[in-house]
Amino acid sequence: MVNKNFLIIGFLALSALMLLFFLIPSYTSIERNSIVLGASLPLTGINSHLGRDVVVGANTYFSHTNARGGVQGKKIEFIQYDDKYEPENTLNNTFKLITKDDVFALFGFVGTPTVKRVLPLIAESNIPFIAPYTGASFLRTKSTPNIINFRSSYIEELDALVEYLSKQKNITRFAIFYQNDDYGEEGYIALSQALIKRNLALIAEGTYKRNTLSIRHAIHEIEAAKPEAIILVGAYKPTARFIEKVKESSAANVIFCPISFVNADALMGELQGNGENILFSQTVPSYNDPNSKEAAEYLKNLAFYYPEEKPTLISYEAYLAAKTVVTALRSINGLITRGKFLDELRELPSQTLDNIPLKYHHAQLLNQVYLSHYVNGKFEIIQQYEY
């Protein structure tokens, strides 16, 4: 029965891909009144902050662009569907975006397990898949040239954290708390590689189930090993609970190290601003940087288009990613096509984002990792690494 069901599912998936091939239009010869982008992302559920912040940040810049005439007189339209951070929902949403909504490109998807679920669809459709909010390694290969990431990878984030902790803090005892799915596995593998590179070993690990707060077992597994630093590869709510519980029960001065997907701003909200012993890894600099024209522009436009929303690192990243999309579209001569769009994205000038350097490398535009502390309500960069 299992094999029969497997064959049926495989046949249906293949049929869907074949149907997609015939249904998808080619933007090489179709004039549109708008440039339609689409996303599947969590807008409800435990990770809703991530999806909402991506939408807010991206739409802030798209609204800014549309108010100034758009691109070649066309408005940017950004469609979003809620997937609740569940892969099957992502698959359904993506098929709808491609076949029903007829999107020009997919932009701003959130999550490793969700994106992995639609990877065959993305590869088959050959539609531009731009700036997903994940550092997954499978999105950074030569086999999918229609995928262009904005952010640095989890491999680079974990390498930066281990480099700093081992060299600057002389830490040798590392543990990891991670989500028990593709996202957590990406973080686990990246951490293992970073440790092996420096002749170090992981001393403990603990997991929790996606979209839950089931962290008790993970705490027991990790605490018993007495780590000096714990890498956190999860969502912000379970991560916050984990930090609180470990601090309550452990007298040791453990350093907690959340990677970017954890959602630093939301995590600080959950912890009521207590950033003691927390080292953050981010793929964009602070939006409080007084020397950054991009940060000033983001804060100004966010306050205008979303006056009720607070600035966050995630919405700032989405804002910057949206700006690269618009810059690439505006660089196109003549008819806007997907092929021209991808070419222009890869060739964006390094100073497109002022003091945030761009360089297309490993299928991504950003190649920096920023480590920070949360002090007096702000993220202060203490170390920057370039890859």
Give dist(CA 73, CA 80) in Å, integer. Answer: 23
Whether domain 154-282 has CATH 3.40.50.2300: the reply is yes
Q: Compute the CA torsion angle 81, 16, 129, 157 (nearest 10 deg).
A: 90
The pTM of the whole model exceeds 0.85: yes
Task: State residue 18's pLDDT score.
Answer: 46
pLDDT digits (tens, 9 = 90+) for 222-277: 999 999 999 999 999 999 999 999 999 876 789 999 999 999 999 999 999 999 99
Query: What residues does CATH 3.40.50.2300 cover in the chain?
Result: 31-151+291-367, 154-282
Q: Residue 31: pLDDT band by 50, 70, 90 thresholds?
A: low
22 pLDDT more than 60: no
Radius of gyration of the chain (CA): 21
Per-residue model confidence as pLDDT tens digits over 36-87: 999 999 999 989 999 999 999 999 999 999 999 999 999 999 999 999 999 9
Contact by Cβ (8 Å): 365, 150: yes
* CATH of the domain spanning 31-151+291-367, picked from 3.40.47.10, 3.40.50.1980, 3.40.50.2300, 3.30.565.10: 3.40.50.2300
Lowest mean pLDDT across 16-25, 52-61, 175-184, 295-304: 16-25
**CA–CA gap between residue 310 and residue 307 (Å, rounded):** 8
At 342 the pLDDT is 98
